[in-house]
Amino acid sequence: MVGTAYIESVYNFYAGVYDFVFERFFAEGRRRAVAAVASRPGERILEVGVGTGACIPLFPENVHFTGIDLSQGMLDEAHGRVQKSNWNHVRLKKMDATRLDFPDDSFDAVLAAYFITTVPDPRAVVQEMKRVCRRGGRLVFVNHFMAPNVFINDVELALAPLFWRIGWRSDLKMDNFLKMTNLSPEKVGFVDRLGLWRTLYCVNHKNAAGPEEERPQRTFIPQALRRWGKRLATVRMRKTERVRD
C-alpha cells in the first residue's frame, strides 16, 4: 500500500497533462455525478479531490463551490481555470481529504469524482465527507469499482500492484466500499456499458463507519489460474459427455 506522499507526487507529475490524457474518458461520468448532486441556488458544495477543476464549469455560478486537493500541481491547474473564467463563487484549498479543515455541517453536498480509488484510506475520507456535510445532505461518488465480469475481475486483481504505482487502485469492490463506509446509496448508475465506472447517490445520515477494509493477500494470479482451470475442466467434461452420448 502506497502512502499519501507518494500519491501527491504522482498527481503533481500528472498535473500538466491530466486533462489532455484523461478528461475525454471521464467527462461523461463527471456530467452524471454533477447532475446527481442537483445543486440549488445558494447551496454550499464541496468537491474532494477537485484535481484540475474539470467539474467546476458543470456547476451553476449561483452556488458556493469549494474544491480541495492534496496535489499542489493539480490545484495550480484548477486555479488557472478559475482565473481564466473569472469565477467569484469558487474557492480552492490544498488539503488532505482524511483531515478536512472545515467545521461540522459546512456543506449541503459533497462530491468525490474519480477520487476514492486514489486514496490509501477511502473509509477515513468518507467519514470526513459525512462530518462536514449537513445531516440529510447529499454525498455523490463517481468511481471505478471492480466489474461484475469475472474475467475482468481477474485482470484487475492481477494488475492491482501496478495500478497503485501509477496512482490508483483497480481492486476496490463496491460492496466492500459500502460496507466499510456504512453507506446505503439510494441510486446507483452505470457510466459505461461494462460497468467499470458507477455513480452512487447517498443521503448523509451521519452514521459511523463500518469495519475497516480487509485486504486479501496478493495471490491473485494463482487464484485466477485455479478458477480458470476449473472452468476449463468443466468444459472438457461436458464435451466428453456429449461424445459419449
pLDDT, tens digit, 9 for 90 and up, residues 139-160? 999 999 987 767 777 777 777 7
Which CATH number covers residue 186? 3.40.50.150
pLDDT in tens, 5-23: 888 898 898 888 988 888 8
**pLDDT at residue number 143:** 95
Contact 215, 48 (CB under 8 A): no
Q: CB neighbours of 153 closer than 8 A, spacing ≥ 6? A: 146, 147
Evaluate whether residue 51 is within a structural domain. yes
Evaluate whether residue 204 is within a structural domain. yes
Q: How far is CA 186 from the centre of its chain?
A: 17
Evaluate whether residue 233 is within a structural domain. no
**pTM of the predicted model as reported, rounded to 2 decimal places:** 0.84
Evaluate whether residue 13 is within a structural domain. yes
**pLDDT at residue number 226:** 58
Evaluate whether residue 221 is within a structural domain. no
Evaluate whether residue 241 is within a structural domain. no
Element (H, E) at 84: helix 72-85
**pLDDT at residue number 22:** 84
Show the cell assigned to 158: 492481477
Number of domains in the chain: 1
Question: Domain range holding 75?
Answer: 4-152+163-214
**Neighbouring-strand partners of residue 140:** 111, 201
**pLDDT at residue number 220:** 47
Contact 50, 78 (CB under 8 A): yes
Stretches in the chain below the pLDDT threshold 70? 1-2, 149, 215-245
Residue with the three cell numbers 459546512: 106
Residue 118 neighbours by CB distance under 10 Å: 23
**pLDDT at residue number 24:** 83
Coil vs helix vs strand at 100 = coil
Evaluate whether residue 35 is within a structural domain. yes
Evaluate whether residue 181 is within a structural domain. yes
**pLDDT at residue number 176:** 92
**Neighbouring-strand partners of residue 143:** 198
Amino acid at 76: D
